[in-house]
Amino acid sequence: MSRKIHLALHPYGVGGPGQHGLWKDPSVAKNASIDINYYIRQAQAAEHALFDALFIVDSQFINATYPAHYLNRLEPLTLLSAVATHTRHVGLVGTASSTYNSPFNLARRFASLDHISGGRAGWNVVTSFDTGASRNFGLEEHLDYAARYGRALEFVQVARGLWDSYEDDAFPADVERNVFLDPDKLHALDHVGEHLRVAGPLNLSRSPQGQPVIFQAGVSEEGRDLAAQVAEGIYAPGGGLEQAQEYYSDIKRRTAAYGRDPEHIKIFIHGSPIVAGTDEAARRREREIFEEDDDFARNLALLGRSFGAYDFSVHDLDAPFPDVAHLAERGGRTGAARIIERAATDKLTLRQVAATLREFRRSPFVGTPRGVADAIEEWFHAGAFDGINLAFRTEAELGAFVDGVVPILQQRGLFRTAYEADTLRGNLGLPIPANRYSRERQLVND
């Protein structure tokens, strides 16, 4: 079997959205989200299990109602640079906003991580839906959807142009000829676009994988289109098997429509497996986790994130869901639209809407090691994903998956038994992008 499953690890720290009770778990250190040794252990465990990548999320706005992990956590690129020196193979994917960064600085930081890690960096491109972030960057108003996604597309194009500033053989470092740099192979970008003006060149050469791998999480029409144009890895939205299949086929179709090879975009679904000695024990633990995390006040605050961190507590909980559609355009528009539609269709009160965010839904990846492996294999063969972005509440639960499920996937030929390469691109089966100037030179010479 040539096609294999890709696995990534998404550490929870002390608990993000929906894991409101995780910080109370006695096995979770209360400073986990700011403890670099916690992340190093997670990365080394992922590498021991031959995972493709460690994935770090981020946002740039909080208030006191936000999840515990969001309130006190390390900046992703700083974190991953430290982790890079303690690992050799696992990819290092960090989240960074195209709305609240400058292309030159961000391109340089990711290129630096790529060099530090020997070609294992990935950038998860987000446009930021937390509207309050604008005030942290001196702006009165958050950009609307169209502007955010237009800027994101241009931003990635600029970053890729900057990463090509030097051709691969730009540095002969010939002492006898007194030539360190071949100046003909250094190129300024001189980009002038709708959203950005960047001269370049970047003062950093290409890494062993050419450029960092671009990840994206496209949910809306604009997001799916952006993913199809520029992403090489995608973090897919949640849902059941049919939703995952629809998303997978839609993204692959859009990718081909843009003239790209659909095999050069790897789609990861989210998974939080629970592995136990019996199915009953695993299902019992699944229910316990739901009850540990079921905090109505936190759920109500979480509801507000899709509407620009709106404070729903000012409304009567038992009145009809309030008219807040106007707040969604500059927030999480797609998620907000679904909330509004369901509230209207089912005539739900605000209390009922908040409760629906935490409805108990059984996961397919819960059971004995063999049962979890069976479910993963079924979804994989059904065309639901190329990989799974795995999240575990505790290090012990990660260990149960690594020790119990991974060997079964390997025995079935579904997962690697050794790393194929030293770079993230190599392990994902992605090509090294040719330097645009070298390619042009080759075309001229041909």
Pairing of strands 233-235, 91-97: unpaired
- The DSSP secondary-structure symbol of 386 reads S
CB-CB contact of 5 with 415 (8 Å): yes
> Does a cis peptide bond (omega within 30 degrees of 0) precede residue 103?
no
Q: Quote the CA–CA distance of 72 and 32 in Å, as a whole number.
A: 10
- DSSP string of 63-110, one letter each residue: -TTS-HHHHS---HHHHHHHHHTT-SSSEEEEEEESSSS-HHHHHHHH
DSSP character at residue 177 = T
Q: Which helix (H) or strand (E) holds 126?
A: strand 121-126
Quickly tell me which residue has 């010479």 as its tokens. Answer: 445
Number of C-beta neighbours around residue 59 at 10 A:
18
Binding residues for FMN: 58, 95, 149, 220
Task: Compute the distance between CA of residue 133 and CA of residue 128 in angstroms, rounded to an integer.
Answer: 8
Distance CA 273, CA 125 (A): 26
CB-based contact 182:172 (threshold 8 Å): yes
Residue whose token pair is 């062993």: 208
Under a CB-based contact definition with an 8 Å cutoff, are residues 198 and 191 in contact? Answer: yes
**Of 118, 165, 48, nearest in space to 425 by CA:** 118
The CA–CA distances, whole Å, from 195 to 135, 283, 391 equal: 19, 50, 36
DSSP letter (8 states) at residue 273: -
Where is the binding site, in residues?
A: 58, 95, 149, 220
Instruction: Name the H helices within 294-445.
Output: 296-305, 333-346, 350-356, 369-381, 395-404, 406-411, 424-428, 436-445
Q: Cβ distance 120 to 94 under 8 Å?
A: no
